[in-house]
Amino acid sequence: MSRGEVLTRVRRFGPLVVVAILCAAAFASGLVEHISLEELRRRGTELQAFAYEHPLACAAVYLAIYMGSVAISLPGALILSLSGGFLFGPVGGGFAAVTGATGGSMITFLVFRTAFGDALRLKSGAFVSRIAEGFKGDAFNYLLTLRLIPAFPLLAVNVAAGVMNVRVRTFLLTSVLGMIPSSFVYAGIGAGLGHVFAKGGPVTVESLLSPRIYLPIIGMGVLAFLPPLWRHWRNGRDVASLDEK
């Protein structure tokens, strides 16, 4: 096998190997059981002390857990964003959450873009192919809209973008810009978790989030979708005008 063939295989299957390693590490460590608000409450003082005494090491561990969780689609991205604010404050936690979510999403995106993308595109059929072409025609705005609305699962967006062969730069930029609002909002909420925990009683994600928090975020996603809708409407009018002539 030539050096070029080896490099091609590494580029194609490298991200898949990374995901397999992360998946094995997550199950071996029991990571899923520890990503919860109850675990954060129980070990909150200890974790905050570690973050204060070893900020860089804590940030590195946090990013590794966040990226790994998103890459292998473990539940708990919202909990991790709240944890970022709890450990690093609203600003530092917001940046950490954006970095972790973007890094993990990039791994999943590259897996489906390189290892599985060609096969899935060939089996997708004419209808899905037309959707893919429309998606790629304005990938930036579509992806930005999906990122701005937290209701869309990270996994679904990452896989769709990979299968549709979206450019890496477009995916990275829209991921960062689109996840900034929700990440900083959740980090801001997480920064106040210490007071919530001190009051005692059960704490759930539903009790922390209210319509006045998530509705503005959804509104930003809707606003981001207006430009492609406007262009689609204008193009439709232009085609209709040409047909009339």
CB 105 within 8 A of CB 70: yes
* Cβ-count burial 192-219 (b if 16+ within 10 Å, e if not): ebeebbeeeeebeeeebbeeeebeebee
CB 72 within 8 A of CB 29: no
Chain-wide mean pLDDT for the chain? 77
**What pLDDT was estimated at residue 97?**
95
**What pLDDT was estimated at residue 55?**
94
Distance from C-alpha of 117 to C-alpha of 156, rounded to nearest angstrom: 14
Among 90-94, 159-163, 220-224, the range of highest mean pLDDT: 90-94
Q: How far, in Å, are 175, 212, 232 from residue 236 at the CA level?
A: 29, 36, 6
Distance from C-alpha of 90 to C-alpha of 168, rounded to nearest angstrom: 29
Nearest to 101 by CA among 59, 70, 146: 70
pTM of the entire predicted model = 0.76
User: For residue 157, how many other CB atoms are within 10 A of its CB?
Assistant: 22
Distance from C-alpha of 113 to C-alpha of 91, rounded to nearest angstrom: 32
**What pLDDT was estimated at residue 98?**
95
More confident residue, 213 or 180: 180
Nearest to 175 by CA among 103, 228, 225: 103
Whether the predicted pLDDT of 149 surpasses 70: yes
Residue 227 parent element (H or E): helix 211-244
More confident residue, 126 or 109: 109
